[in-house]
Amino acid sequence: MKDTFAAVEGAMSVPRWRSLLFVPVHVPRFVETAHERGADGVILDLEDSVPQDRKGESRQQLPECVAEVGRKGASVLVRVNHGLRALAADLDAAVMAGVDALVLPKTDSAEWVIEIANAVSELERERNLPQGGIRFLAQIETPGALQRLAAIASAHPRMVAMALGPEDFSAAVGGAPGFDLLLTPNLSVLFAARAAGLLPLGFIGSIGEFSDTHKLREAAVRARRLGFAGAL
């Protein structure tokens, strides 16, 4: 069934996400201090940073975490898992008032985006939430997805941003997450996002290389000069 929106809901504004901070839901000290970090948005992570045996507990904690990290006005995002069973449980937990967007890891096709959008719409209707209120940030993490960027970017009105997942993308192509490997795919994401009116997010390199704040700042400045709107 095709998902539809009222006209007013189809013309949603693009948020200002210059910085998005990942926070593992199962670590209370990170959740409690996230609102003090000054990020435009906080990504409550249910995926890679949460051990498998803590995911159920993390889903139960989401309502409290959403209220905590958003109390100073930051956007609240939730990164869900990719596997079908985990994704279904994540959506059931995450579609609630106070959540502005979902981060979709390993997004490979427009069809995948549409399937998730339909599920979210059903949950919004059941819970009397505004239709279309929860947006999508797609993470591009495979070479196949790179070939379908235009379709993914325009897959659904919920789409608001795209970003390359540098670590997983590099692993998928059998390379190391350095500047030489990541420049071209990052630019491809940038161009596709801009063409579709989405936010292009990211910088060229691995987050693991930037424990040095000076290097991180240089990478952020370079990314902004290239045309990226923010980073996560």
In a domain, 4, yes or no: no
In a domain, 144, yes or no: yes
How confident is the chain (232 residues) per 10-residue block, as mean pLDDT? 39 84 94 94 95 93 96 96 97 98 98 98 98 98 98 98 96 94 98 98 83 86 96 92
In a domain, 25, yes or no: yes
In a domain, 7, yes or no: no
Q: What is the pLDDT of residue 213?
A: 85
In a domain, 6, yes or no: no
- Interatomic CA distance for residues 69 and 34, integer angstroms: 6
Decide if 135 contacts 113 (C-beta within 8 A).
Answer: no
In a domain, 5, yes or no: no
Q: What is the pLDDT of residue 6?
A: 39
Q: What is the pLDDT of residue 158?
A: 98
Q: What is the pLDDT of residue 210?
A: 63
pTM of the model: 0.92
| Residues spanned by the domain of 43 | 15-226
Q: What is the pLDDT of residue 2?
A: 44
CA distances (Å), origin 120, targets 24, 54, 67, 100, 196:
22, 23, 20, 12, 22
In a domain, 113, yes or no: yes
In a domain, 8, yes or no: no
HEC string of the chain equals CCCCCCHHHHCCCCCCCCEEEEEECCCHHHHHHHHHCCCCEEEEECCCCCCHHHHHHHHHHHHHHHHHHCCCCCEEEEECCCCHHHHHHHHHHHCCCCCCEEEECCCCCHHHHHHHHHHHHHHHHHCCCCCCCCEEEEEECCHHHHCCHHHHHCCCCCEEEEEECHHHHHHHHCCCCCHHHHHHHHHHHHHHHHHHCCEEECCCCCHHHCCCHHHHHHHHHHHHHHCCCEEC
Q: What is the pLDDT of residue 209?
A: 66
Which CATH number belongs to the domain containing residue 19 in this structure? 3.20.20.60
Number of domains comprising the chain = 1
